[in-house]
Structures are given as C-alpha cells and as structure tokens.
Structure 1
Amino acid sequence: MIHWEGVMPAVTTKFTSEDELDLAMFETNIKAQLDAGVQGIILGGTLGEASTLTKQEKETLIKTSLTIVEGQVPVIINIAEQSTKEAIEVAQHAEKVGAKGLMVLPPMRYKATDHETVVYFKAIANNTSLPIMIYNNPVDYKIEVTLDMMEELSECSNIQAIKESTRDITNVIRLKNRFGDRFKVFTGVDTLGLESLVIGADGWVAGLVCAYPAETVAIYELVKAGKIEEALAIYKWFMPLLELDISPQLVQNIKLAEVATGIGTENVRAPRLPLQGKERERVLKVIEEAMKNRPELPDYKNLKSVV
C-alpha cells in the first residue's frame, strides 16, 4: 500500500572515484531526504543512471534503501527495459527483494503504438502485486500515454498513479476531471512543480530535491496549506536551480548541486562525464548564486493542509 502524495525524489546513484557504488554517501543523501519529509524514494530513474547499472547494483540499492528508511517511506524502483519479458522479470525481482512500488516507463528504444504500450503496461501490472506509477514523458521518450490509454489501464487495480511530464500542466486538470481520484497525479517537471501542485497535482517526483530536499518539501507543504505566496517566494529563488533539471546533462548538473549542499559527489558513470569548460562554469555560477541567497524556511513540517 502506497499513499501516492507528497514529494518523492528520483534519487541519484552515488559512485566512488573507482566507479563502484558509494553506499556511504548514498546513505547520507537518503537520510537528508527523510529528514526533510519526503514521502517516498524512487531508485533507478534517469537521474539514477539506471541504464548503466547492473542487476546486482540495482538489488544492492533497493536493499540498502530499505535498511536506511526502516519502513518510514516506500522504496520504489523504476522499470525501463527493452522487452516486456525483461520488464516483468525486473518487476518480480524488485518485489521479491522488498521494493514497495514501481514507476514504469513505456518500452525503451522501440516506439510502440498506443495499443502495444497499453499491452506492455498491463503485462507488467498483471505479473506483480506492487502498486505502479506510470511515467508519461513523451518529450524525452517519444511515447505519450494518453487519457484514453489511461482509461484502459484503469482495469488494473495496481496501476494507481501517473508521473505527468508532458510539459502541459493542464493535463493535471484533464486527468482529474476524467478520473477523479482513480489515479493520483504527480508532476514530473521541476520547473512546473508549484504550478502543478496549485492546480491539483497530488505530488511531485522531483530532481533538484536530490540537493535541496527541505526547500522542495517546503514548497509542497506550503501549497497544500494554502500559503501560496510563501511557497512562491521559495520557488522564485529555486527556479534557476530547477532549470538545471531540464537539460541532457541533468545528472551532472544535479550532482554538482549535491556537492554544494554536502550530500553528494560529482562522480558519474561513463559514458557520462563531469561537466567541463564554460558549461561547468555556468552551472557552478547558478549554484553559487543560489547558495549565497538560500532562503530561511518556515516551519513547514507543522502546517495544516487545506487541500
């Protein structure tokens, strides 16, 4: 059972300089997320450099996360595989290891038709008891999960949420108008976070939360408490950082920000490489400016929700 709400970080995978999993820094980051008040941990997404991880590394990350969170929040694993067979195997293994939920992308590499995509999602859902969030990101993955497709997917009771990353925040309203609370809706684009929450999104699968967990959760809690102006003040400060998430180098960008806040390292796994030259200077300047003006946060953990 997952309460699909709140901020759920798509966490980065921490590596040592020898390209091994850095579980000590990973624990530091996860504990910072928990301290800030996140409602779930999502492993192995784009930010988690999933395509470069071995099956054993993914299992290690799940088990390590479960040990750290001690049941406080659900640990969710991303499914982004080449074939239906692989996707089912990964989902079943994640359930066996102890993951509490799945975030599922459409088939990778092959641009499936609407029908093929629906059949793919249903096959995964029908072969696991884990609750599922569908990840809808046609901008990056070239397949849109339409409202009509979600209608078909509503037949699977364990498909319970959608990460809405079309860049059209009015889809939040369309989903709510059509399905009510049948599907919980999460915004998946950092630069549309506050707007999506204001118009009814249930939660935020966030990226810059990896470096700034308290600021991200504060925005969510303030919006839910009806304190929009206070949330907006933080969001305005946050925006230059949030724009680092909508870039092909989002992993390198966000890991640099994690270094600045002391809860990560810059190490990435090849073929990714650390930022260089003018782009590195630009990103560091954004981070440096933000750190100089980092806002003092209100007591966001003790607000009364009005939503």
Structure 2
Amino acid sequence: MKFIWEGIMPAVTTKFTKDDNLDLIMFETNIKAQLDAGVHGIVLGGTLGEASTLSYAEKQVLTEATVDMVKDKVPVLMNIAEQSTKTAIEAAQNAEKAGASGLMMLPPMRYKSGDKETVEYFKAVANNTSLPIMIYNNPVDYKIEVTHTMFDELLKCENIEAVKESTRDTTNVTRIKNRFGDRLKIMTGVDTVALESLLLGADGWVAGLVCAFPAETVAIYELQKAGRIKEALEIYRWFMPLLELDINPKLVQNIKLAEVYTGIGTEYVREPRLPLFGEERKQVIGVIENSLKTRPTLPDYKNL
C-alpha cells in the first residue's frame, strides 16, 4: 500500500508515570483523542516525544503499543535520531520489525555533518529499510540544513518521499513544489506557520499543539482543504497564542501542561527536564486558561 503523506500527523508526547516508566494507559487516552478528532497519522519519538531520553526497548514498546492501538486506522511513524549511521540503520530496522508504517529522520545527532556526510547518512538508512521516509529539515534547532541540491541526490532513493519542512521560511514550500513537484511531499513542521504553509501547497502538518487540541488542529486542515479559508483563519487566530508554545525551548513541558488542562495527558517529563515552575509556569498557564475561555465552537469539519 502506498504511503499517503497528507493531513494532520501529531508528533505525540511520550507519557511517563510518576516513577519515570512509560505510562501506556494515559498514552492510549491521548491516542484515542487524536483518532476521534480525525488525525491522519501518528509520529512517535520526535522532539516532543523526548526521543533522546528513550531507550531502544522503550521505543520498541511504544511502536508496538501504538500500532496495536490504532489498528490500521492511520499510519504510525517512528523518528530516527541517532549519532551514528550504524545505530540509525538498526533503529530503522527495529521500527520496521515493530510494525511502523514509515520513518521520520533527523540528520546525525551531535556531530555537525557536512552536506555529503548528511546525504550519505540518509541514503544508507534508506537503502537498508523498505519503509517510506520523511526527512526532518530543521536547521533552526538542529543546525544542519538539507538543501534542495542535497534532495536532488536523496530522491534517487525511492523510499525517501517527504520532507518535514521546519526551516520557518514559508517560501520554501513554493520552491520545493517548483523543483520537485509531487515527487517530494511536504509536511509543514512549525505550528506558527502551518496554515500559511498549507495554503501555499504543503500536503500536511506534523503538529505539536494537536497533542492537547486535536479537534481544532484537524478542523483547520479540513476547512482550508475545503476552501473555507475564513473559518480556518478564525480558528487559527484563536490558536496562535497556544501555537507559540511550540516554538520555545520548553515546548515539551508547555504542551504537556496543555494536555493536562484538556484532560488527555500528564506533566511528567524525563529528567533533566523538569515540569514548568515559577513565573514561566504562570505565563504558560495564563495562555492556556485564556484560550480555553474563548475556545471556539467548531463546525462539522469531518463532513465537509
């Protein structure tokens, strides 16, 4: 079956218990809320999923559990964020064995690889898995940009199919479409430029605040797709103070706190992260509470 790169794909948070174990009960509560809202895929182990703190065993458990939870309703992607090519290949093959439908891939971690090194890293993984791959291009946070010239080479691998476009430069959507057409699908990856990117031609949105507000996120996507731009824009403008919690070093803590307020998550994070405290906590709570007071009534976005 051909992988369909479109729609809303939450980069879900990883739920932990007070004792720092995986909390699959609360995790399933959140996954159910995402499915009920009509999301189009689930992305595990990304930045929001606290990937760097998860063991290989935990990633396997999360993948297998999520595949079981979604029951083929939507694809499940595992993020690959490794320091060596060897471990990246192993992680990709483990995800495939655990039932993942696709992969999201970051450039090498810690070492700032050059263009050729980055290309060879991605190609090595692509050549050792049958899963479709989305390249996560986020030079703002990860300091390595995957340029269009590099994609010319990468797209020789048939299973490299999409980019998570997180450069924060919305003109890249048009440049990618002009250069690659439908050969390289675009999933916008920054919440605060998501609607703009979709209107410019992005195929979908790997979202963050969707973790706490799934229905509002899917509604924006479905409304703009149906040409009901004014309605999508009204929800997006309401959403913006919350979406800005995603472009912050404490995005994990911010979004987990929002999940608490909407009843589909907990605040437990894995150290060295700590839950928000002090003035920072007060500010984030203010954003969440003010947004909940004016939460919009959504149209029947599932039947447009």
Question: With structure 2 as the length reference, what TM-score do the two structures score?
Answer: 0.99
Residue in structure 2 matched with residue 214 of structure 1 by the alignment: 215
Residue in structure 2 matched with residue 253 of structure 1 by the alignment: 254
Residue in structure 2 matched with residue 119 of structure 1 by the alignment: 120
> In the TM superposition, what are the counterparts of 1:110-189 in structure 2 within 5 Å?
110-189=111-190
Deviation by residue 1:148-177 (Cα, 9 ceiling, x = unmatched): 111111100000000000010110100000
Residue in structure 2 matched with residue 234 of structure 1 by the alignment: 235
- What amino acid does structure 1 have at the position aligned with 2:215? A
User: Quick one: distance in 2 between partners of 1:207 and 1:215?
Assistant: 12
Residue in structure 2 matched with residue 270 of structure 1 by the alignment: 271
User: Quick one: distance in 2 between partners of 1:75 and 1:222?
Assistant: 24
Cα RMSD for the two superposed structures: 0.5
User: Quick one: distance in 2 between partners of 1:243 and 1:93?
Assistant: 34
Deviation by residue 1:239-262 (Cα, 9 ceiling, x = unmatched): 000000000000000000000000
Residue 97 (structure 1) shift: 1.2
SS for the counterpart of 1:7 is strand
SS for the counterpart of 1:181 is helix
Residue 211 (structure 1) shift: 0.2
Residue in structure 2 matched with residue 91 of structure 1 by the alignment: 92
Residue 227 (structure 1) shift: 0.7
Give the unaligned 5+ runs of structure 1: none
1:109 lines up with 2:96 in the alignment: no
Deviation by residue 1:59-109 (Cα, 9 ceiling, x = unmatched): 110011011100000110000000000000000111111111000000000
Deviation by residue 1:3-57 (Cα, 9 ceiling, x = unmatched): 0000000000000111111100000000100011111000000000011111111
Percentage of identical aligned residues: 74
- What amino acid does structure 2 have at the position aligned with 1:159? I
SS for the counterpart of 1:78 is strand
SS for the counterpart of 2:183 is coil
SS for the counterpart of 2:21 is coil
Give the unaligned 5+ runs of structure 2: none
SS for the counterpart of 1:135 is strand
- What amino acid does structure 2 have at the position aligned with 1:248? P
Residue in structure 2 matched with residue 302 of structure 1 by the alignment: 303
- What amino acid does structure 1 have at the position aligned with 2:100? A
- What amino acid does structure 1 have at the position aligned with 2:43? I
User: Quick one: distance in 1 between partners of 2:181 and 2:298?
Assistant: 33
SS for the counterpart of 1:180 is helix
> In the TM superposition, what are the counterparts of 1:6-21 in structure 2 within 5 Å?
6-21=7-22
1:3 lines up with 2:28 in the alignment: no
- What amino acid does structure 1 have at the position aligned with 2:165? E
User: Quick one: distance in 1 between partners of 2:302 and 2:153?
Assistant: 38
> In the TM superposition, what are the counterparts of 1:36-55 in structure 2 within 5 Å?
36-55=37-56
Q: Which runs of 4 or more aligned residues in structure 1 lie more than 3 Å from their structure 2 counterparts after TM superposition?
A: none
Residue 2 (structure 1) shift: 1.4
User: Quick one: distance in 2 between partners of 1:148 and 1:223?
Assistant: 31
